[in-house]
Amino acid sequence: NRNHSITVLSGDGIGPEVMKQALKVLQATSDRFDFTVSTEECLVGGAAIDAKGCPLPEETVKACEQADAILFGSVGGPKWVNLAPDDQPERGALLPLRKHFNLYANLRPGVCLPALQHASPIKNELIPNGFDVLCVRELTGGIYFGTPKGRDDNQDNPTAYDTMVYSKHEIERICRVAFVAAMGRDKRLCSVDKANVLQCSILWREVATEMSKEFPEVELSHLYVDNAAMQLIKQPNSFDVIVTGNLFGDILSDEMAMLSGSLGMLPSASLGNQKDNGLYYGMYEPSGGSAPDIAGQGIANPIAQILSVSMLLRYSLGEDDAADAIDKAVKSVIDQGLRTGDLYTGAGNETKVGTAEMGTAVVAAIQA
C-alpha cells in the first residue's frame, strides 16, 4: 500500500470553499486507486494573520517541509490590504513559500475543453476543437524578487522602485523545463520577452537560443510580450508551449485562463528540481485568487483546485492513474453540461450548479 502526505493550505476567500471539494475528490481517487494520503491542514495568509498575527507561521513551514507536497488554495483580500506590504498574505506568505522551496517552475496548462468552446470569448470557428497551451512561468526571480525594492517618501515626489534581475542560471533552468515539456507535446516552444527594451530579455533570448541546440527537434520562436498577448487572442492554437518570466507569465496565464472559459478552470504546479525518482516537491494551486467578490456564496468554480490535485498526484506522488482519472472526470462533468456561474452561458444542455454540487459530480464520475 502506498502512503503519501501533503500539507493543505486553504487560505482565504474562496480558498476553503474550493479546497473542500478538492479534498473530496482526492479521497475518492485514493479509495479507488488503493493509496492513502494523510493531510495536515495549516494556517496561511489572511487566516493566519487573523489567528496568529503573521501570514506564514513557522509551524506551517515546518509542516510543509515534512510533507511530499503542498496543496494551496489562495490568499489575500481587502481585509489585509492596508498592512505593510511584506506583512500581507501575498508578499508575506505566498511568495516566501515559493522562494523557500525553490519552486522556480510554474506550469499552467491552459486547456479549452471542446464542450467549453462557446464559453470562450474567442470566436468559435478559430478554436473548433478547443485549444491546449502550456505556459511555463519562471516563479522565483524577475521583478517579483529583485533588489533593491522599496520606496522613498522623504521628498516632495515620493518614488518607488522594483528591480528586474535574471541570471543565466535562472533562465537556463526554466528554459530547460520548457524544452523538455515541448518534447512531450507538439515540439513548438515560444519564448516571450521584451527584448526590444529590457536587458533581462536580451539575456533571456540569448540563453533560450543557445539551449535550442540541445533540443534540435523543438521549433523555438520568440515573441515580444505585447504581440504575444495579441496572438493568444487571435489564435491560441498557434502556441504549444510558452516560456516566460515571472511577471509576463502571471499576466499571460490569466488571459489564457479566460480564453479557456474561466479563470476558475486553470490549475498550476510550482516545481523545484526533479528528484532522483523522477518526482518533484511542489506546490499546487489554482492560477486565480481568493475572488473576494464571490467568496462565501458557494458559487466558485472548484475545477482549478481539483485539477491542481491531479497535477499534485502526477508530479509529486507519481499516482498517474489517479491523475488521469481526475482529468477524465472533470471532462465528463463538463460534457454532462454542469456549469458553475462563471461558465454558465444558458446554452441548451447546461445546468447551473454550485461549488459543492460540482465537487460531488466529479467524485461521482471518479467512482463510475
Residues that bind ligand NAD (CB under 6 A): 14, 18, 74-77, 90, 94, 263-264, 285, 288-294, 300-301, 304, 342
Q: Give the angle 351-367-323 at the CA atoms, nearest 5°.
A: 95
The reply on whether position 287 binds ligand IPM by CB under 6 A is yes
Distance (Å, whole) CA 302 – CA 291: 12
**The 269-274 sheet, strands edge to edge:** 35-41, 2-11, 69-74, 280-284, 269-274, 105-112, 131-138, 241-244, 188-193, 219-224
Member of 68, 250, 319, 342 binding ligand IPM (CB under 6 A): 250
Positions 235 through 254 that interact with Mn ion (CB under 5 A)? 250
The reply to whether 176 sits in an annotated binding site is: no
Q: Which is the catalytic residue, given 132, 162, 254, 335?
A: 254
Question: Is 50 a known ligand-binding residue?
Answer: no
| 204 and 171 Cβ atoms separated by less than 8 Å | yes
- Tell me the closest approach of the beta carbon of residue 263 to ligand NAD, in angstroms: 4
Least distance CB 247 / ligand IPM (angstroms): 8
Return the number of the residue (82 or 196) whose C-beta is nearest ligand IPM.
82
- Cβ distance to ligand NAD smaller for residue 137 or 179: 137
β-pairing, 280-284 vs 159-161, is: unpaired
Closest CB 80 distance from ligand IPM, rounded Å:
12
Q: Is 265 near ligand IPM (CB under 6 A)?
A: no
Paired strand residues for 352: 339
Peptide bond into 57 cis (omega under 30): no
**DSSP of 243-296, one letter per residue?**
EE-HHHHHHHHHHHHHHTT-GGG---EEEEEEPTTS-EEEEE--SS---TTTTT
Which of 193, 194, 280, 315 is an active site residue? 194
Residue 119 makes CB contacts below 8 A (sequence gap 6+) with 261, 262, 339, 343, 345
- Beta carbon nearer to ligand NAD, 304 or 362: 304
Cell, residue 312: 499534485
**Alpha-carbon radius of gyration of the chain:** 20
CA–CA separation, 99 vs 272, rounded Å? 10
Measured CA to CA, the distance from residue 239 to residue 316 in angstroms comes to 27
Q: Annotation-wise, does 339 bind a ligand? A: no
Assess whether 52 carries a catalytic annotation.
Answer: no
Judged by beta carbon distances under 5 to 8 A according to partner kind, the member of ligand NAD, Mn ion, ligand IPM, none in contact with residue 16 is none
Please identify, using beta-carbon distances, which residue of 24 and 194 lies nearer to ligand IPM.
194
The one-letter amino acid code at 171 reads I
Catalytic residue among 144, 166, 280, 284: 144
Residue nearer to ligand NAD on the CB measure, 6 or 75: 75
Smallest CA-to-CA distance from 288 within 9, 13, 7, 41 is with 13
The annotation status of 79 as a binding-site residue, yes or no, is: yes
Cell of 86: 511584506
Rounded to an integer, what distance in angstroms lies between the CA atom of residue 22 and that of residue 360?
10
Q: Is 289 annotated as a binding residue?
A: yes
With binding defined as CB under 6 A, does residue 290 bind ligand IPM? no
Task: Please identify which residue in the block is written with the cell numbers 516560456.
Answer: 243
Q: Specify whether 31 is catalytic.
A: no
Binding of residue 12 to Mn ion (CB under 5 A): no
Rounded least distance, CB 347 to ligand IPM, Å: 30
- DSSP letters spanning 289-307: ---TTTTTTT-S--HHHHH
254 is annotated as an active-site residue: yes
Cα(205)–Cα(221) distance, rounded to whole angstroms?
10
Among the listed residues 50, 152, 226, 320, the single catalytic one is 226
Interface with ligand IPM, residue 136, by CB under 6 A: no
Q: Any contact of residue 138 with ligand IPM (CB under 6 A)?
A: no
Residues that bind Mn ion (CB under 5 A): 250
Residues that bind ligand IPM (CB under 6 A): 76, 90, 94, 250, 287, 289
Pick out the residues of the known binding site.
77-90, 98, 108, 137, 226, 250, 254, 289-301
Q: Please give the positions annotated as active site.
A: 144, 194, 226, 250, 254
Pick out the residues of the known binding site for Mg(2+).
226, 250, 254
Pick out the residues of the known binding site for NAD(+).
77-90, 289-301
